[in-house]
Amino acid sequence: MIWYGDYARGYLGRLDPAGGTVTEWAMPSGENARPYAFATDGQDRIWFVETGVDPNYFVGFDPRTEEFFSITGIPSGGGVVRHMQYLPEREEIWFGSDMGTIGRARID
C-alpha cells in the first residue's frame, strides 16, 4: 500500500498498486488540514500534523479500523511540520518545523 496526504484538499489516501484502487478519508480539519510530513509507528498506524490550522494538530490514523483516533493540539502551534521520524525503542515520534522548532510525541 502507498499512503499519501492531499495537501490541497485535506485527505489521507491509500493506493493499492496491485489493483489500482484508491481510498481516501477526509482529515479532521478538512481542506484546512494542510498535511506535509508523515510517519508510521510500530503498529502500522499513520501519523501526521495538520499544519493549516492554529494550533496545529498531531493526528493518528489506524488503517485497521479506518478511523482517526488521536487529534492532539500542539501547544506552540508547530508551523509547517516538514520532517517526522518514529523511534521504535522509545515509542516516540520526533518532528521538525519550518519555524526552526522540534517536537516530540510519545505514542502508546
Give the model confidence (pLDDT) of 13-30 as tens digits. 999 999 999 999 999 999
Domain residue ranges of the chain, discontinuous segments joined by +: 32-106
pLDDT score recorded for residue 77:
67
Collapsing DSSP to helix, strand or coil, 30 comes out as: helix
**Top-confidence residue, 99 or 57:** 57
Quick check: 79 pLDDT over 80?
Answer: no
CB 35 within 8 A of CB 47: no
Give the model confidence (pLDDT) of 23-52 as tens digits. 999 999 999 999 989 999 999 999 999 999
Q: What is the pTM of this model?
A: 0.91
| Residue 27, phi then psi, degrees to nearest 5 | -70, 160
Collapsing DSSP to helix, strand or coil, 46 comes out as: strand
d(CA 97, CA 69): 23
